[in-house]
Structure 1
Amino acid sequence: MNYNNERTPGESSTEMIEILLFSLGGQEIFGLNVFKIREVTELSQVTQIPGQQGAMNGVISLRGQVLPVVSLGDAIGMSTGEPNSKMIISEFASRSVAFAVTDVDKIIRVPWSDVKPPQKYDSEEGSVFGVVMLEDGSLVSLVDIESVCHRVLPEKDATPVTTGFELNKAGPVFFVDDSIVARRKISEVLDTMGLKHSHAVNGVEAEQKLLAIASSANQNSEELEERVSLVLVDEEMPIMDGCTLTRKLKGDPRFKNIPIIMYSSLTSEENARRGIEAGVNIYVKKFDSTSLSNAIGQLLAHA
């Protein structure tokens, strides 16, 4: 089962998410964004490797590529003991990982506005970024595979922050991301660059906070750029996605001169095109500190 992660040109889908439903055993239903899936296949022979532990099951060779195999049920604490029979081959942020699951079901397509934030029942670095209700009332938990990989397959950030830009006159940066892992990394980049910053955890909260900042600046006869010099938006977020947020901000004359950078683990040209069409100035790969800091410096050094 292969997935074509390109949209048809002209298709209006910026507010939609396609979700592959799957099972980890038991009654719970889980989902992954189809854009991050290369294919689904039968669970093949897994080779054990020295030092593997926890949810890391070993590696497989798939069409000449060696991929780590992660038992998703073990990784998110939802293993029922039922054997895994399928592998979801996922690609995101230049990584390829095989997630072993019990079974796969079907693909559904829902508006991003139907994706609700999860309850704070798990650890701060939760494994679920959103929840969707199906027509029969069943709930689908959307797995945050970036956070899962951060815990199970941690890798050192090999992309250093680019410094040396003349940013002394730059105002604070505002960013929005629903992932605690991503927010921490973005904060590290901005701190290293010497930029003040504030943030929101989803698109709706970001819109509310930014509109409040704009109103306050107007009431105090201040330039908005003194309060917000740049906005960073994640493409994938519950309630309101990054493209929708960007279009809303660009539709407000007060934000006309405020540049926007979109970052995403979805790195196809089609995703970048959608972001640019929504109004972002630069589209960069998520968790790439060099690309992000270069983009920030490029926009703010000449502000």
Structure 2
Amino acid sequence: MSQEILLETGTNEFEILEFFITSQTTENSPSGMNSFGINVAKVVEVIENPGLEITYDNVNPCFMGVISLRGSILPILDLSKWLKIPRKKSKNEIIIVTEFSKQTAGFLVSGVVEIHRLDWTQVESPDKLVSSSKENCVVGIVQIEDKIIQLLDLEYMISDLTGVQIEAKSNSFVSDDTYRALIADDSKLIREMLRNSLEEANFEVREFTNGLDCWNYLNQQISETSDSLQPTPELADIIITDIEMPQMDGFTLTKKIKQHDRLKKLPVLLYSSIITEELYHKGLSVGADEQMSKPDLHKIPLTAHLLIKKYANKII
């Protein structure tokens, strides 16, 4: 198709699959449609619900059971239960099959709408736009025409629904030198985990909730540096950034850093829940020095240390 153009890396564009959950408080009350979005890169396929129903003897009320899909066992979760939305049942419900952070799961929803191509600058912070009960699972808000679409943090959901907490594994590495790391991630949970892990390894950490804030900080620090010929300002030793973020994604942040005369020698470490082979090549194309998946975040302190030493041309 002529409009099916591959997304160019570093242009700050991404695609979401819009889906909805139809809500109805009582049998006779009017129904409403709640719109959500998920990054297309995390979607494996969309299938019809084979007839799974909630069984109330389950330990977790969101867990609907498992189905066999292409020879693999797929756990199915009722997204409406976790979001506390009274879902109106229908005959044509859909399961969105996802894969990220080395996990595969299916989410039951009322239906899917279409795929939207967006710019990360269109994504607003959910801070005061969603209830406190959803603040950890909604990472961004997008308005398309007169519709508000909430972008969901499925990593947090999987952690909460399965009881498997996202946390750093034991990190025994401690650097002899003190380093300064800038980290950018829209997930409060991941930022806290990274900060704790890095500080234990003798890093000083400054946090940002998106790539744009990190980029603005770098530019501000450069503007305050008197020596305009200085190639690498003394403001950080390494940048550690997620890929998916509102306002500016990690690919765009990396590309801007590597194209800047005074920042290009800063090592950049990219991480994501979806480091596929295709995304790995995209990271290389924008100049990322290292790329990791979120289940391996406990390795970041040592990896960051090695990158800093590499750039400093020191013997490790």
Show structure 1 runs of 4+ deviating over 6 A.
none
Q: Does 1:12 align with 2:22?
A: no
* 2:296 aligned residue (265, 288, 292): 288
Map of 1:237 onto structure 2: 245
How far the C-alpha of 1:203 sits from its partner, in A, is 1.4
In terms of mean alpha carbon deviation, does 293-302 or 184-193 score higher? 293-302
Unmatched 5+ residue regions in structure 1?
A: 1-6
Write the distance in 2 (CA, Å) between the matches of 1:178 and 1:22.
22
- Give identity over the alignment, percent: 27
Q: Does 1:67 align with 2:101?
A: no
* 2:50 aligned residue (44, 50, 69): 44
Judged with a 3 Å threshold, the aligned counterparts in structure 2 of structure 1 residues 228 and 49 are, in CA distance, closer, same or farther, namely farther
Retained in 2: the 8 A contact 1:76–1:148?
no
Retained in 2: the 8 A contact 1:16–1:112?
yes
Q: Does 1:141 align with 2:137?
A: no
Retained in 1: the 8 A contact 2:17–2:39?
yes
* 1:89 aligned residue (73, 80, 97): 97
Map of 2:162 onto structure 1: 153
Write the distance in 2 (CA, Å) between the matches of 1:249 and 1:66.
42
**Secondary structure of the corresponding residue to residue 169 of structure 2:** coil
Q: Does 1:22 align with 2:11?
A: no
Unmatched 5+ residue regions in structure 2?
A: 23-31
What is the 5 A alignment of 1:148-297?
148-155=157-164, 160-164=169-173, 167-218=175-226, 226-297=234-305
Judged with a 3 Å threshold, the aligned counterparts in structure 2 of structure 1 residues 190 and 50 are, in CA distance, closer, same or farther, namely farther
Write the distance in 1 (CA, Å) between the matches of 2:57 and 2:232.
55
TM-score between both structures, scaled by the size of structure 1:
0.86
**Secondary structure of the corresponding residue to residue 77 of structure 2:** strand
Map of 2:27 onto structure 1: none
Retained in 2: the 8 A contact 1:24–1:79?
no
How far the C-alpha of 1:228 sits from its partner, in A, is 0.6
Aligned alpha-carbon RMSD (Å)? 2.8
What amino acid does structure 1 have at the position aligned with 2:263?
F
Which has the larger Rg? 2
How far the C-alpha of 1:64 sits from its partner, in A, is 2.3
Write the distance in 1 (CA, Å) between the matches of 2:35 and 2:99.
21
What is the 5 A alignment of 1:76-155?
76-83=83-90, 85-120=93-128, 121-123=130-132, 125-134=135-144, 136-155=145-164
In terms of mean alpha carbon deviation, does 241-250 or 118-127 score higher? 118-127
Write the distance in 2 (CA, Å) between the matches of 1:145 and 1:157.
12
Retained in 2: the 8 A contact 1:217–1:223?
no
Judged with a 3 Å threshold, the aligned counterparts in structure 2 of structure 1 residues 225 and 50 are, in CA distance, closer, same or farther, namely farther
Retained in 2: the 8 A contact 1:49–1:59?
no
How far the C-alpha of 1:213 sits from its partner, in A, is 3.0
